Structure 1
Amino acid sequence: MAQSTASAPTETRGHPKGLYLLFTTEMWERMSYYGMRALLVLYMVSASDKHGFGWSQSKALEIYGIYTGLVYLTPVVGGFLADRYLGQRLSVVIGGILMMLGQFVLAMPGTVEALFYAGLGLLVVGNGFFKANISTMVGGLYAPGDARRDGAFTIFYMGINLGALLASAVCGTLGEKFGWTWGFGSAGVGMGLGVVIFLAFANRLLGDVGKAPKKVESKTGAPAVSSAALTREEKDRIVVIFVLALFVVFFWAAFEQAGGLMNLYTDAKVDRSVFGWEVPTTWFQAVNPIFILLLGPIFAELWTGLGRRSKDPSIPAKMAMGLLLVSFGFVFMLGASKQSDASGKAALFWVVAAYFFHTAGELCLSPVGLSMVTKLAPVKYASALMGVWFVANAVANYLAGLIGGYAEKMGEFDLFLAITVATAAAGGVLLAIAPMLKRMMHGADEARPAVAQPATGAESKPGIQAA
């Protein structure tokens, strides 16, 4: 079956210009999401005059897990609606508007529980429309076999983390220092800016990418998507997506302790004093995005360069590396726990070192995983399978909240040790079966020269390639 990308405009710096629009839109959306995430658990456990709910740590982490799990579950529905009825571009706009409204509901002074849950609900539904579809559009900018695709997703991933950095600097600071209303409200403003920028430049920079749902895309000038039954190769590739999704549950269940247990641990048991000044707890949520911005260009160039020389590790092997690196990062949390148990407070070094290795693991796994789905998924199921990929995140985030809640019962050291062992074991198993999974991809992850599609009476448009 021929695969194609819709027409895209000219390129800049080796990538289509539309990549940088999607980068910017995702940056503002992530500023909104991570700004709220940095505050959410602290807000729920707070009983101060800033109008927190004063809930227990275990209850707050359970709600945090349910919320973040639903955030990654609804993209399955959003991807299906985009593929069948709305198109990816309209879905992104709808999702952005709903998330903006959700943040503003949370920002209402003296929010009662009913409004609190309503705000979270708007964020969950909005993210369902937004998340899978903007990621799928990144893949739509590149022809099958384009060696730049993994690098493009790493660049896109830097936009995610630039937004996360802004979230800590702006939303976290305003919420922690001046009140929750200011923090949540600034997150809503950030999401609104993302929608405005996307609407202003989408037609100019994205061409036809994401404009029409797949079932009617042929009317826009792009090749029609085949309605034929899936081939054996396509079925094998879908199986690979599901197998890898199972392993990334282990990764994200560990990694997402950053917004829950590690956030609370840093607040209570880490010496945050630097030259006599106490670093706000929410600022530690910026450590990961800072490392992403520093390491992202290195990883992007590494994958692209290795791909050009046909030495790129397979996608399963990269993801196994990610699991092993996040496991090693939790070794430093074991050191932090030992020190805080002995002296009451742990040094900053332990947490920062843990975030460094978590970030390196994230760069091996997350942007590569997004790119992988766009390579392996049949075109007619592209957004829906991207949504399925986020189901793994949904399960992992829910588990992250449940796992973090056990710290009150078993202690941080034993919990960090269990996470270390589980992620190391998962990484070892995935590394062992990586060659088999690579064979089941049937060459979809191999860079190869793109073959231009012949003109059909009209001027050929850049970006339309035959598999």
Structure 2
Amino acid sequence: MSNQSSGTLLGHPKGLFLLFGTELWERFSYYAMRAILVLYLTDKTINGGLGWSTQDALGLYGIYTGLVYITPLIGGWIADNFLGQRRSIIIGGVFMALGQFTLALPNSFIDPHAVTAFYAGLGLLIIGNGLFKPNISTMVGDLYKDGDNRRDGAFTIFYMGINLGALMAGIIAGSASTAYGWKAGFLTAGIGMLLSLVMQFIFAERLLGDIGKEPAAKRAAAMNKSGKKEPLTAQERDRLKVIMIMGLFVVIFWAGFEQAGGLMNIFSQHYTDRMIGSFEVPAAWFQSLNPFFVITLAPVIAALWVKMGPKEPSSPAKFAMGLFFLAIGFLCMIGAVTQQGGDITVKTSMFWLVGAYFFHTLGELCLSPIGLSMVTKLAPLRLASLMMGAWFGFNAVANYVAGIIGAHVGEAGPMAIFSGIAIAATVAGVLLLLCSNQLIRWMHGAEGQVIEDEVIEGNAVEA
């Protein structure tokens, strides 16, 4: 199988930047729709919304985002066994574009079936996302041979594309919705998805070669002398154990990180001094700090991993760093609560929030793109997309846990929650470092590290 046929750009295969652009516009589409979904649901029908209660809107939002993270399990399995990754992302992209344009249909076309059309649009988005999300990430890993130390840096660059799309989404969809109504926001999301598809249709053959064309299970069977599907080897089972164990630490990280959209968002709205002279910074602007920091820091982090070469930390060590950065970020939030001195009428400095988002983003860059890269290194070839889907499933659990944690702020208070997350993240990071040698053993040289008597010849690993 040919990997890429058009050389390199900035030290990486040019196919990486095609996948970067494809994911950028898909994530633009997703976040543009997500930015206005609850606002559309709760707006009065006379203004173009559905007039739902806040409770009902948030309930549907939770179900939708949960399904978005669960369906990649199914989409990954379908790609591995039947469609291949390239066909899966095209079909998934078409479903998502149809979903966005269904949401964008003018009410005069769909009344009195507005709610039915709305659910149909969401259903198309969920199905399409399940096919698209795990497979685009898996293809990034397929650009690199086993043992290539550029892979973690590649996923960091790829991750920058995700956040660039997210940063543009809120600004463009929000502006379109304000000027022309909610349907215009959904229309911009659909256009973004079409751009993602057009990039694949035009450039995929030249920049990706054969990558993603053949189902992984078929490729794996062809590599076996018998040509039959073989049971998992002991080495493969060990590597799957690493993915599952690391996934538990991912839940801890994201359960804390996702307070950004909930508890920290409320704190910025009610308890933060957002005045700069006579201008009051909108609380929603703080939500743009994370993608801004990702875009500015990701190239630096990616270059750092490549420059470190053989001294680059292992995935467990990077995950531990991510948890420690998360804890430092919540120390900033503890500082903000301390500044109040128990008086909730006191407004705290906005620099506490800026500091928290900065350290949380550093943690994210040490964990999220590294996790995507790690799955492509460790998952057996015939299960590559399925395991990527399972990895996103940990995010679904984390989002649910984050909601439970945030819901207890009224009983426990922000100090207890911020300090509790900081302590939990620190303990988890220490525990992960203590387990790191065993996890590296179970990786069987997938990242080049050798523990004790284990010998890895060159950079080859068993797929």
With the shorter chain as reference, the TM-score category is 0.7 to 0.9
Letter in 2 for 1:358: H
Q: Which moved more, 1:137-146 or 1:439-448?
A: 439-448
Which residue, 87, 96, 100 being the options, matches 2:97?
A: 100
Whole-Å separation in 1 of the counterparts to 2:224 and 2:4:
11
1:428-447 maps to which residues of 2 (within 5 A)? Answer: 428-446=430-448
Structure 2 CA distance for partners of 1:187 and 1:266, relative to 1, 3 Å? farther
Which residue, 69, 72, 89 being the options, matches 2:69?
A: 72
Whole-Å separation in 2 of the counterparts to 1:204 and 1:350:
47
2:333 matched residue in structure 1: 333
C-alpha contact (below 8 Å) 2:42/2:49 kept by paired residues? no
Whole-Å separation in 2 of the counterparts to 1:224 and 1:61:
52
Structure 2 CA distance for partners of 1:218 and 1:388, relative to 1, 3 Å? closer
1:182 matched residue in structure 2: 184
Q: Which moved more, 1:438-447 or 1:178-187?
A: 178-187
1:9 matched residue in structure 2: 5
C-alpha contact (below 8 Å) 1:324/1:361 kept by paired residues? yes
2:19 matched residue in structure 1: 22
Structure 2 CA distance for partners of 1:10 and 1:201, relative to 1, 3 Å? closer
Q: Which moved more, 1:148-157 or 1:220-229?
A: 220-229
Structure 2 CA distance for partners of 1:225 and 1:108, relative to 1, 3 Å? farther
2:306 matched residue in structure 1: 304
Deviations 1:335-390 (A, max 9, x none): 44555753364433222211111100001001110110111111111111111111
1:40-439 maps to which residues of 2 (within 5 A)? Answer: 40-44=37-41, 49=47, 51=49, 53=51, 55-56=53-54, 60-108=57-105, 113-175=115-177, 179-217=181-219, 227-306=229-308, 308=309, 310-337=310-337, 342-343=344-345, 345-439=347-441
Post-superposition offset of 1:176: 5.3
Using CA pairs below 8 Å that are at least 6 residues apart, which structure has the higher relative contact order? 1
Q: Which moved more, 1:71-80 or 1:181-190?
A: 181-190
Deviations 1:386-443 (A, max 9, x none): 1111110111122223333333554444333333333233222222211211111111
TM-score by length of 1: 0.86
Whole-Å separation in 2 of the counterparts to 1:27 and 1:297:
16
What's the secondary structure of 2:188's corresponding residue?
A: helix
Whole-Å separation in 2 of the counterparts to 1:286 and 1:200:
31
Post-superposition offset of 1:52: 6.1
What's the secondary structure of 1:343's corresponding residue?
A: coil
Whole-Å separation in 2 of the counterparts to 1:23 and 1:418:
36
Post-superposition offset of 1:197: 1.2
Whole-Å separation in 1 of the counterparts to 2:78 and 2:234:
26
User: How many residues align structurally?
Assistant: 448
C-alpha contact (below 8 Å) 2:221/2:227 kept by paired residues? no
Deviations 1:37-93 (A, max 9, x none): 33344555556956364534x655444333222211111100000011111011111
Letter in 1 for 2:278: G
Deviations 1:81-124 (A, max 9, x none): 00111110111112122222323333445695544443333222
Whole-Å separation in 2 of the counterparts to 1:377 and 1:143:
14
Structure 2 CA distance for partners of 1:389 and 1:416, relative to 1, 3 Å? same
Whole-Å separation in 1 of the counterparts to 2:81 and 2:257:
33
Post-superposition offset of 1:198: 1.3
C-alpha contact (below 8 Å) 2:323/2:428 kept by paired residues? yes
Q: Which moved more, 1:438-447 or 1:357-366?
A: 438-447
Whole-Å separation in 2 of the counterparts to 1:431 and 1:290:
30
Whole-Å separation in 1 of the counterparts to 2:94 and 2:444:
40
Q: Which moved more, 1:149-158 or 1:221-230?
A: 221-230
Whole-Å separation in 2 of the counterparts to 1:106 and 1:282:
24
1:35 matched residue in structure 2: 32
Q: 5+ residue gaps in structure 1? A: 453-464
Post-superposition offset of 1:187: 1.8
Structure 2 CA distance for partners of 1:104 and 1:402, relative to 1, 3 Å? farther
C-alpha contact (below 8 Å) 2:146/2:459 kept by paired residues? no
Task: Give me the CA root mean square deviation.
Answer: 3.1
C-alpha contact (below 8 Å) 2:68/2:129 kept by paired residues? yes
Structure 2 CA distance for partners of 1:61 and 1:256, relative to 1, 3 Å? farther
Q: Which moved more, 1:356-365 or 1:313-322?
A: 313-322
Post-superposition offset of 1:333: 2.7
Q: 5+ residue gaps in structure 2? A: 450-455
Letter in 1 for 2:378: L
What's the secondary structure of 2:344's corresponding residue?
A: helix
Deviations 1:133-162 (A, max 9, x none): 000000111111111111111111111111
C-alpha contact (below 8 Å) 1:39/1:282 kept by paired residues? no
Q: Which moved more, 1:347-356 or 1:233-242?
A: 347-356
Whole-Å separation in 2 of the counterparts to 1:265 and 1:120:
31
Whole-Å separation in 1 of the counterparts to 2:360 and 2:145:
31
Q: Which moved more, 1:378-387 or 1:173-182?
A: 173-182
Structure 2 CA distance for partners of 1:258 and 1:313, relative to 1, 3 Å? same
C-alpha contact (below 8 Å) 1:249/1:395 kept by paired residues? yes
- Percent identity between matched residues is 53
C-alpha contact (below 8 Å) 1:169/1:283 kept by paired residues? no
What's the secondary structure of 1:331's corresponding residue?
A: helix
Whole-Å separation in 2 of the counterparts to 1:78 and 1:376:
19
